[in-house]
Amino acid sequence: AQSVTQLDSQVPVFEEAPVELRCNYSSSVSVYLFWYVQYPNQGLQLLLKYLSGSTLVKGINGFEAEFNKSQTSFHLRKPSVHISDTAEYFCAVTTTGGGNKLTFGTGTQLKVEL
Amino acid sequence: DTAVSQTPKYLVTQMGNDKSIKCEQNLGHDTMYWYKQDSKKFLKIMFSYNNKELIINETVPNRFSPKSPDKAHLNLHINSLELGDSAVYFCASSQPGQEGFFGPGTRLTVL
């Protein structure tokens, strides 16, 4: 079975500052990794995904993440955040063997302040 | 065009009632899911269907019964609603091993 750990439940940051949201996973088989964003009272929107290939993946809204197999991490980064990035961010994993289940982390609340 | 749609968006009901939530996807995906998001925003899978066949049931009480009339629809019926069922329920669809596309959610409040 796979699991996901998001160590930071809340991350406050000033506008235009860089941010990193941490995600670590555990799995006995190869995985696919995802980051989703949830704005208040809305559904989940895919930010980016790692399926294979380059370990640095770029997503929407200027976000990127790096897959690190040795550290079993998939941290999300943005070099300069905007007020509109305030939202809940979820890391998720599924297995590469055709598994049909997304396992989510507990989420990180990103709060961007002026 | 909405990829994954759910109805209703809000559902307020009394304890003990029975209610249903409907979900439809027009993405041609083989797999559909129900997730529950609790008050602490934790997302947990409840069920997964692949081509109308139940493949995941994550120790959900028997009061919850999913039904998939075809691979584009996955409905969730809940009997004898309890206070603890209050949550946001998300429907999603995907191809196996790929990202999930989520509906807008149904906020269920049990009084």
pLDDT for A21 equals: 98
CB-based contact, A97 to chain B, within 8 Å: yes
Whether the per-residue pLDDT at A98 is higher than 80: the answer is: no
pLDDT for B55 equals: 83
pLDDT tens digits, A12-63: 999 999 999 999 999 888 889 999 999 988 899 999 999 988 999 999 999 9
Between A100 and A103, the more confident residue is A103
Whether the per-residue pLDDT at B51 is higher than 90: the answer is: no
Q: Which amino acid appears at position A6 of this protein?
A: Q
Instruction: Using DSSP, state whether B26 is helix, strand or coil.
Output: coil
Whether the per-residue pLDDT at A104 is higher than 70: the answer is: yes
C-alpha separations of B75 from B52, B67, B90 in Å? 11, 5, 11
Question: Nearest CA to CA, how far is B82 from chain A (Å)?
Answer: 23
Residues 6+ apart with CB under 8 A from A59: A35, A46, A47, A48, A49, A65
CA-based end-to-end distance of chain A: 41
Question: Nearest CA to CA, how far is B96 from chain A (Å)?
Answer: 5
Whether the per-residue pLDDT at A97 is higher than 70: the answer is: no
CB-based contact, A94 to chain B, within 8 Å: yes
